[in-house]
Amino acid sequence: MNQVDLVGDLVSLSEVRRDRSTGRTVGKAIIAVSRGVLGVDFVPVTLWGREVIDASKYLGEGSTVAVRGHIHTGLLAERGAMGVRRRRLVYVIGDRVSYLDIRPPRGGGRL
């Protein structure tokens, strides 16, 4: 079973747009998740539909959220002076976002 639950602070919510192929709204967020004394992990999260629309209206940087979703992986090929370099991408597809501590976005929302 591929399921993940994260609790952390919203670092950024960017790239809220319509997907050309599906017509659905999609957005990318970064959640700062504490590892205790070991530091913080910055986890990229992709949100779809109602979840990203509501998040862009009500959440700002520093809002504490709980995200339930699943892990997704992929490869990114980058061309550079040294040839093609492949990087492994790991991110979370957020199925549900719960607002634990709301800090309104600056400017009243992004949509």
Q: Which of 8-12, 23-27, 47-51, 100-104 has the lowest mean pLDDT?
A: 100-104
Burial of 68 (0-12, 13-18, 19+ CB in 10 A): middle
CB neighbour list of residue 39: distance below 8 Å, 6 or more residues apart: none
| Helix or strand (DSSP H, E) at 92 | strand 83-101
Answer whether 0.85 is exceeded by the pTM.
Answer: no
Q: How far is CA 65 from CA 24, 30, 34, 108, in A?
A: 22, 11, 13, 19
Question: Which residue did the predictor score with more confidence, 67 or 22?
Answer: 67
Q: What is the pLDDT of residue 63?
A: 93
List, in order of start, the domains of the chain with CATH numbers: 4-106 (2.40.50.140)
CB atoms within 10 A of CB 61: 14
3-state secondary structure of 58: helix
* Average pLDDT taken over every residue of the chain: 89
Per residue in 7-30, pLDDT (tens digit) is 999 999 877 888 888 888 999 999
